[in-house]
Amino acid sequence: MKTIITRTISGLVFIILIIGSIFLGPFTFGFVFLVFLVLGLLEMLNMIKSAGYKPATAQVLITAILLYDIVLLYIWNYIPAKWLIVSVPVIFLIFIFELYRKSKTPFQNIGMGIFAIIYVAVPFALMNFFFYPDMDTSIPVKGVLVGFFFIIWVNDTFAYLTGMAIGKHKLFERISPKKTIEGTLGGFVFGLVAAYVLSLIFNELSLYEWLGLAAVIIIFGTFGDLVESMFKRSINIKDSGNIMPGHGGILDRFDSILMASPFVFIYLMIILN
């Protein structure tokens, strides 16, 4: 009982923090997710080190934060779009930093550092664009971003409940033995229902655009969950961290979101621009 209460409180705090940061605006959201980025990146680097690799923690963090800040400055209209190209040479700082470490495994260190940045920092940075789904305007909206998280949470919840109730056929037993095809389909259906409800509340997208968005989120969010499970299974751990009592680490809560974010970004750019 105590575990359930702890898990519930922890989950509510997490949800309130995310939804609250959205309604407080792009600046608050940007800073809150910068914190999530740092915490998530530290978890991923610890996982990578558990696998026997040695990326430079401080240098990777510095590079990731620089990339994230460049995106924020553009979104907040402090720098023009052409300055986004600075993101490319920033990534190459990882190569320069490695020169001064005198490591015998520079290939692995550089590769794993860049992997961590792409997997964690890039999706968090892209989520800030969801405040402006139509890039021709500079007026922030909240519906798309609220919908993004709401659909993820509805899918996760009902995939679990449906799987518990009627799940029989394994979805990807080698990676996640508890996931079932029935649960996945249940999450998908209720995710589409959530998209329909969102279309009645927020008019940034049409009904069909909301349904398309939900499909993208659910499909790639499911892959994100499986990918994170693959990483954890490879180093024989249950959770990526323990910062959230009853839920594990930041990456455990954002696994679906990290994978879905880039694909949602592309989807929004295609349908709205």
The model's pLDDT over 160-203, given as tens digits with 9 standing for 90+, comes to 999 999 988 888 888 888 889 999 999 999 999 999 999 999 98
CA dist 134 and 195 (Å) reads 19
Residue type, 106: P
Query: 170 forms bridges with which residues in the sheet?
Result: 180
Which DSSP category does 175 fall into?
A: T
71 pLDDT more than 60: yes
Provide the domain count of the chain. Answer: 1
Q: Which residue has the tokens 């961590």?
A: 116
Query: CB neighbours of 1 closer than 8 A, spacing ≥ 6?
Result: none
| 265, pLDDT greater than 70 | yes
Residue 120's domain comprises 2-272
Asked if 29 and 20 touch (Cβ cutoff 8 Å), the reply is: no
Nearest-angstrom CA–CA distance, 41 and 50? 14
Distances (CA, A) of 135 to 52, 100, 152, 224, 261: 42, 41, 23, 26, 17
Integer CA distances (angstroms), 12 to 19, 85, 150, in order? 10, 38, 13
Q: What confidence score (pLDDT) does residue 139 get?
A: 66
Helix (H) or strand (E) holding 177: strand 176-180
Contact (Cβ atoms closer than 8 angstroms) between residue 230 and residue 175 = yes
DSSP 248: B
Give the residue-averaged pLDDT of 21-50: 94
Do residues 170 and 182 touch, judged by C-beta distance below 8 A?
Answer: no
